[in-house]
Amino acid sequence: MSKPITPLQRTGARGSNRDLVRQHNLSVLLQMIHLNGTVSRSSLTSATGLNRSTISDLVSELVQLGFVTESETDSPTGVGRPSLMVSASNRVVAFSVHPEVDATTIGVVTLAGNVLHTKRVPMPRHPSAADSVQTAAKAIEELREELDKDQLIAGVGVAIPGQVRVEDNVVRLAPQMGWIEEPFGSMLSQATGLPVFVDNDASIGCMAEANFGAAKDFTEVVFLYAGSGGIGGGAIVNGTQLRGASGYGGELGHVRIGEGSTKDYSGLSGTLESLVRRDDLLHAFKMFAATDEELDLEIAGNKSAKTQKLIEQQIDALGTGISSYVNIFNPEVIVLAGFLTSLLNYDAERLVRNIKTGALNASAERVVVRAGELGPNLLMIGAAELPFHRVLESPAETKLVSAHKKR
């Protein structure tokens, strides 16, 4: 330590040397290909501003690395020599894991965004973290056997219904399952021998909708996701996911919007989660367990005055909550997922009216409310993005794991 100089404040940006330029360009290209599915070389050229010959060089490096494939256009459009099409490869895959209170779901997703398999393993009520890890590891083992020999594994992404400390992949609190301070990441990593990345389910859903779904073309997004475990949220600010200091950011379900006395799953009262409760709806409809589809049918076909009032109360509470998020984030789009879509479909006009009442005119004037588009694949696609992210950041440097273990 030569000088007691503060580590040069938050100018995160490092200098670029030549290698970083190459790395950056490879990364930008691969990201574009990953997000857009299949793109022509010519559109990559115009989008990046790089030279034709440079694109050619970079793409062939990505081909050699196994991340992308090139093919000729099947339907040339316009004059001129048709541009070669570049697609993300299905060779590179990631596993997704979603532990819930009654089941654990495991899936395989390719870098091209295809969900190859999913497997839902029912669990005894309130599984321990160790149970879930074991279930997941076993399923991954089986799914891995089904992969082709030349496929490469980027890692495992885990979506947790609870708060996750992302720096060390520890589940801080998953209230529904009763998990406290569980090192889920290192447990699963040890069990599978693969790199594991853990994050909150709603944050992951937000990222998925932002990358591939209803928020695809926006940089300012608010996302609300309601499942059986309460209401989670996420936000995209300036094109990047809101994470916060430790990764707990985006807990939009736990924001106080009123004086209610019932508490939410985390013990807070007056929050959005405490006022918009799936269980209350199930109870009113005299249902026990129900899928979102079943509940949606009930809500859509509702005739009783009593349940109508409940639904409207929930819509109003949701609108009040969203209006706060509009004032805070000034988003371009608000994406609703889980059974919140049913509320939106029931009376979108009422919801929007409520949002406009509680929000500043300027902030609300251009906002759009949408339902999520990814449906049941939401968390599978989203969780896979976690390991993929590392690959996309530095394609040439990241070492992938071969699908079949060496003996």
Partner DNA sequence: GTATTATGTTGCCCTAGCCAACAAAAAGAA
Partner DNA sequence: TTCTTTTTGTTGGCTAGGGCAACATAATAC
Residue 13 burial (CB count, 10 A): 6
Q: Would you say 135 and 128 are in contact if contact means Cβ atoms under 8 Å apart? A: no
What is the dihedral sign for C-alpha 56, 58, 63, 68? negative
114: helix, coil or strand? coil
Of 40-48, 111-119, 144-152, 266-274, the window that binds DNA (rule: CB under 7 A) is 40-48
In degrees, rounded to 5, the angle at the alpha carbon of residue 228 between the alpha carbons of residues 223 and 232 is 25
Applying the rule CB under 7 A, the residues between 4 and 33 that interact with DNA are 15-19, 21-22, 25
Choose which of 130, 287, 300, 360 interacts with its own copies (CB under 8 A). 360
> Closer to its own copies at the Cβ: 120 or 243?
243
Contacts of 301 (CB under 8 A, 6+ apart): none
Residues 64-103 that bind its own copies (CB under 8 A): 77-78, 80, 83
Q: Which does 19 bind (CB under 5 to 8 A by kind): its own copies, DNA, none?
A: DNA
41 binds DNA (CB under 7 A): yes
For its own copies, the binding residues in 21-60 under the rule CB under 8 A are: 21, 24-25, 27-29, 31-32, 35-36, 39-40, 42-44, 47-51, 54
What's the CA gap between 272 and 252, in Å, rounded? 8
Phi/psi at 150 (5° precision): -90, 5
Q: Tell me the two tokens of residue 248.
A: 């707990």
With CB under 5 to 8 Å by kind, the binding choice for 261 among its own copies, DNA, none is none
Report the residue from 54, 128, 186, 345 that binds DNA according to the rule CB under 7 A.
54
280 binding partner (options DNA, its own copies, none; Cβ < 5 to 8 Å by kind): none
Which of DNA, its own copies, none lies near 81, with the C-beta cut-off 5 to 8 A by kind?
DNA
Residue 360 to residue 364: CA distance in whole angstroms:
6
Residue 377 is given by DSSP the state G
CB 39, min distance to DNA, A: 10
Residue 38, token pair as written in the block: 């299949």
Q: Using the minimum distance from each CB to DNA, give the nearer residue, 1 or 362.
A: 1
Helix 348-358 to helix 305-329 angle, to the nearest 10 degrees?
Answer: 40
Report the residue number, 76 or 267, with the smaller CB distance to DNA: 76
DSSP label of 270 = S
The full length of the chain comes to 407
Q: Which is nearer to DNA, 83 or 314 (CB)?
A: 83
The verdict on 219 binding its own copies (CB under 8 A) reads yes
Number of chain residues interacting with DNA (CB under 7 A): 32
Measuring CA to CA, how many Å separate 198 from each of 138, 164, 357?
A: 18, 7, 38
Contact range with its own copies by CB under 8 A, out of 113-121, 296-304, 361-369, 372-380: 361-369
For residue 93, count CB atoms less than 10 angstroms from its CB and return exposed for 0-12, middle for 13-18, buried for 19 or more. buried
Angle at 318 between CA 291 and CA 225, to 5 degrees: 45
Residue 350 as a binder of DNA (CB under 7 A): the answer is no
Instruction: For residue 199, give the H/E element and its range.
Output: strand 196-200
Q: Kindly state whether residue 130 participates in binding its own copies, applying the rule CB under 8 A.
A: no
Total residues contacting its own copies by CB under 8 A comes to 94
Residues 224-263 binding its own copies (CB under 8 A) are: 235, 237-240, 242-252, 254-259
- The reply to whether 301 sits near DNA by the rule CB under 7 A is no
Q: Does residue 81 belong to the site contacting DNA (CB under 7 A)?
A: yes
> What does the binding site for DNA look like in residue numbers (CB under 7 A)?
2, 15-19, 21-22, 25, 40-42, 45, 49-58, 72, 76, 78-84
